[in-house]
Chain A
Amino acid sequence: MAETTFSIWRGDSGGGELQDFTTEVTEGMVVLDAVHQIQAESANDLAVRWNCKAGKCGSCSAEVNGNPRLMCMTRLSDLDLDEPVTIEPMKAFPVMRDLVTDVSWNYKVKKKIKKFKPRAPDSDDGTWRMVQDDIDRVQEFRKCIECYLCQDVCHVLREHHLHEEFAGPRFMVYSAALEMHPLDTEDRLADLKDDGGIGYCNITKCCTKVCPEGITITDNAIIPLKERVVDEHYDPLRKLFKIFRK
């Protein structure tokens, strides 16, 4: 098969540029295969983060021809190979080296979210009972592989760099999975409003579009959470009720 050119961003936190590499493309190859081939053939020190190579671990996130993608799930046959294929690191996070970014901020955000707190077990043997219908939604959220492509594409983080104010779509989904868990008894709504900055999301649905797991982030997680926050904190009747209760 044909030789194809890949323009790969190389550099570190001090800056960098696109560098062209040519390698042979064979049937069924994905972008990550091309990167590995180039790494083995002509750039042993080309930095790339990956693990499972099957779309399950969420490590190899990057921007392919400007689109946030998992490199292991992007087939070359779906791209126009007459033009160079551009591969760049995610833009919402600081670059470490080449295609690898520093995603540690995500780990810090997650740690601040209150952990799962189950109700007392339903049965004497310490177990619970849940109906499948009641957990379908939570299971959808729990499919998340933490690739952070939703964070990468979110304009609040990508363009406005409001990492201190807004937790980002990943952690809206994470919070939703906890809040909608049938066994959970914790209340995270005030935190979502203040620390999480849920109000910053203006529902452009970019995150939903890039999610490789097909999680309906905006409609199923963020909007219901926004509604709960509004009900809890902005409902005038409820506010009045709270005053009288005091």
Chain B
Amino acid sequence: MADRRTHEFDVLVIGAGGAGLRAAIEASSAGVKVGVVCKSLLGKAHTVMAEGGIAAAMANVDERDGWKVHFADTMRGGQYLSNPRMAELHAREAPDRVNELEAWGAVFDRTKDGRILQRNFGGHKYPRLAHVGDRTGLEMIRTLQDHSIHAGIDFLMEVTIIELLKDGDRVIGAFGYERELGRFHIIRCKAVILATGGIGRGFKITSNSWEYTGDGHALAFEAGAELIDMEFVQFHPTGMVWPPSVRGILVTEGVRGEGGVLRNSEGKRFMFDDIPDLYKDQTADNEEEGWRYTQGDRNARRPPELLTRDHVARCIVREIKEGRGSPHGGVFLDIAWIKERLPKGAEHIRRKLPSMYHQFKELAGIDITEEAMEVGPTTHYVMGGIRVDAESQMSTVPGLYAAGECAAGLHGANRLGGNSLSDLLVFGKRAGQHAARHAQEQGNGRIDGGDVQRASSRALAPFERDADGEGPFQIQYALQEMMQDLVGIVRNEDEMQRAAKGIAELRQRAEKVAVVGNREYNPGWHAALDLPNLFTVVEAITLSGIERKESRGAHFREDYPEKSDEFAKVNTTLRRAADGSIEVRREPVPALSEEQRQIIEEMK
């Protein structure tokens, strides 16, 4: 048929951000035929937005750092719900992955002796983030992109996968459409790596672009894979709040790493008011010590602004709720004050935080070297995702792998800043390696023509509905608004139950959505096809949130404000049941090895 293209690869990678590209490079180097599908153009994935840096215990700035410290920091930050094997592999392998980027052309900022410079970030004991000013993600994606185009990989740009194809239990292909002409693409392969990123578009205020509709989460779930930890959605403490059109755009944690402080409308540094017990020994109790830490004093403890993101976000919400917020419903983030301490402070800010300077100047008309920024929490990242094997990144479905944000296990209840970029590299590589091996061991599967027919009818259904029906954007906005209100930073049973009901109602409305125009580059149609994925992930988030009756990490419930022993060692696990409903159960967190237990004990 003229409206269909077919492809054949050994390994199909869905997603071309950091994890997808790293996976593709690795699989290709193993000698198998690799195809990469990107929802946008190559090089535009959300990785490009990452600002702060890549966490890796290279010990270039502080020789006391090492994989064990990084491992302990990650476990503590994740409130001990992380898969310890993943946390260990991540901490051990991240330095090599960063050095590899340099060998492929990345140009990181330097130490005085010419090595890769590392900066402070929340929850990391020592300066650990390899970075390039505040555009590390751009550096990373461009390096991977420029390396991968010479690696014999096929790229299908602006193609969206809407269904995985199976032969028995195995995933053996994928079905999608291209944006340009609206043609369908049927891809046959021996292994699929999902690297589709996050779910930010399930909420109203988000740092994520239109692409992040939980595609990988939903594709895997509907193909029979399990999701874990979906209640843990990271609300980054500092997004822009004004003007309205930029609400949610990220303000890097690097601002605080460089000495930026949070103040309320009374000018008070409110972060000193509430320092969690888990971090008391590591946190400065006065402004002077905190400042010395940001300037590299090795004997100083870090300022409370650099506590973990979940905690900082909640403190900001508290200040706003109690009437001490900024004029537009945020709090103040002040980096300009460092001019009191540093000669040439303004120049320093512009050099260390160039894109923040640019972003505020252009979009808000604010000079951050002169004025404080107004910031508030924004939906940023989902810790939960596809349950994978720590070593191979294979999901519970044979032939289906996942890496990066859409996979779960490394970050537990809360991700540390900088651990995402390293996650993409470490587990992208592992997924690529193991998927290639799987592909080499497997024969081709058989694509069922009936499956393809059903997928294409489903895709075209919105064109056939009554054109007077509701548009897809209205449904998406209503869903985002509801999730923001009912399943946001502060949650309770009643609101989450209402959300669960609301999702079911919206889903019914979505089934009547009609689109206008034709199949060529039609954003309305694309939005309509993204909706089912969004529904799957927001339902997973809501049901998991209801299940976890405690507050831990990013999941805060005002009806259960404390941590509970009952939930201390379980991951909420979801699976599609035979009757179509979602089955929720608690699975024990994988046990620590004796060595891991000792490391955590020593680093307490």
Residues of A within 8 A of B (CB): 12, 26-30, 33, 39-40, 44-59, 73, 75, 96-98, 100, 102-104, 107, 110-111, 115-116, 118, 121, 126-132, 135, 138-139, 142-146, 178, 181, 184
- Is B135's CB under 8 angstroms from A56's CB? yes
A44 to B, closest residue via Cβ: B524
B180 contacts the other chain (CB 8 A) = yes
A26 to B, closest residue via Cβ: B244
15 A-B pairs, CB-CB below 8 angstroms?
Answer: A29-B243, A45-B517, A47-B521, A54-B249, A55-B363, A97-B520, A97-B521, A111-B150, A116-B104, A116-B146, A128-B102, A130-B110, A139-B109, A142-B107, A181-B105
Shortest Cβ gap from B15 to chain A (Å) = 13
B37-80 contacts to A, CB under 8 A, are 40-46, 48-49
Shortest Cβ gap from A178 to chain B (Å) = 7
- The answer to whether A118 and B358 touch (CB under 8 A), given A28-B243, A130-B114, is no
Q: Could you say which residues of chain B place their CB within 8 Å of the CB of A40?
A: 471, 473-474, 477
B138 contacts the other chain (CB 8 A) = yes
B76-109 contacts to A, CB under 8 A, are 99, 102-105, 107, 109
Selected from A50, A55, A96, A126, the residue in CB contact (under 8 A) with B209 is A50
- The answer to whether A116 and B105 touch (CB under 8 A), given A57-B48, A139-B132, is yes
Q: Could you say which residues of chain B place their CB within 8 Å of the CB of A116?
A: 104-105, 146-147
Shortest Cβ gap from A160 to chain B (Å) = 25
Q: Could you say which residues of chain B place their CB within 8 Å of the CB of A104?
A: 157
B359 contacts the other chain (CB 8 A) = yes
- Is B362's CB under 8 angstroms from A45's CB? no
- Is B244's CB under 8 angstroms from A12's CB? no
Binary interface encoding of chain B residues 144-155 relative to chain A, with 1 for a CB under 8 A from any of its CBs, else 0: 001101100000
Shortest Cβ gap from A177 to chain B (Å) = 8
Selected from B49, B149, B527, the residue in CB contact (under 8 A) with A52 is B49
- The answer to whether A51 and B138 touch (CB under 8 A), given A96-B180, A135-B107, A138-B107, is no
Q: Could you say which residues of chain B place their CB within 8 Å of the CB of A30?
A: 245-246, 363
- Is A142's CB under 8 angstroms from B139's CB? yes
Q: Could you say which residues of chain B place their CB within 8 Å of the CB of A33?
A: 245
- Is A52's CB under 8 angstroms from B46's CB? yes
- Is B107's CB under 8 angstroms from A44's CB? no
B142 to A, closest residue via Cβ: A142
B242-282 contacts to A, CB under 8 A, are 242-246, 249-250
Bound-state Cα–Cα, A75 to B244, Å: 13
> Number of B residues whose C-beta is below 8 Å from A?
66
Bound-state Cα–Cα, A58 to B43, Å: 9
Bound-state Cα–Cα, A170 to B522, Å: 29
B517-557 contacts to A, CB under 8 A, are 517-518, 520-525, 527
Q: Could you say which residues of chain A place their CB within 8 Å of the CB of B137?
A: 56
Selected from B44, B132, B474, B527, the residue in CB contact (under 8 A) with A51 is B44
Which 7 pairs between the two chains have the least Cβ-Cβ distance? A28-B243, A45-B517, A44-B524, A129-B114, A116-B105, A47-B521, A97-B521
Bound-state Cα–Cα, A173 to B564, Å: 56
Selected from B45, B103, B135, B244, the residue in CB contact (under 8 A) with A118 is B103
- The answer to whether A51 and B211 touch (CB under 8 A), given A111-B149, A138-B107, is yes
B517 to A, closest residue via Cβ: A45
- The answer to whether A28 and B364 touch (CB under 8 A), given A142-B139, A181-B105, is yes
Selected from B40, B150, B521, the residue in CB contact (under 8 A) with A98 is B521
Q: Could you say which residues of chain B place their CB within 8 Å of the CB of A98?
A: 521
> Most chain-A CB neighbours within 10 Å: which of B42, B150, B242, B243?
B243
Bound-state Cα–Cα, A143 to B354, Å: 10
Q: Could you say which residues of chain A place their CB within 8 Å of the CB of B362?
A: 55, 73, 75
Q: Could you say which residues of chain A place their CB within 8 Å of the CB of B44?
A: 51-52, 57-59
- Is A39's CB under 8 angstroms from B114's CB? no
Bound-state Cα–Cα, A78 to B43, Å: 29
Bound-state Cα–Cα, A121 to B102, Å: 10
Q: Could you say which residues of chain B place their CB within 8 Å of the CB of A127?
A: 99, 102, 115-116
Selected from A44, A97, A121, the residue in CB contact (under 8 A) with B471 is A44
B524 to A, closest residue via Cβ: A44
Bound-state Cα–Cα, A126 to B110, Å: 16
- Is A181's CB under 8 angstroms from B48's CB? no
- Is B209's CB under 8 angstroms from A44's CB? no
B515 contacts the other chain (CB 8 A) = yes
Shortest Cβ gap from A122 to chain B (Å) = 8
- Is B355's CB under 8 angstroms from A56's CB? yes
Bound-state Cα–Cα, A4 to B104, Å: 48
Q: Could you say which residues of chain B place their CB within 8 Å of the CB of A128?
A: 102, 114
- Is B473's CB under 8 angstroms from A39's CB? yes
Bound-state Cα–Cα, A96 to B114, Å: 47
Bound-state Cα–Cα, A116 to B471, Å: 47
Selected from A29, A54, A58, A102, the residue in CB contact (under 8 A) with B250 is A54
Bound-state Cα–Cα, A46 to B243, Å: 25
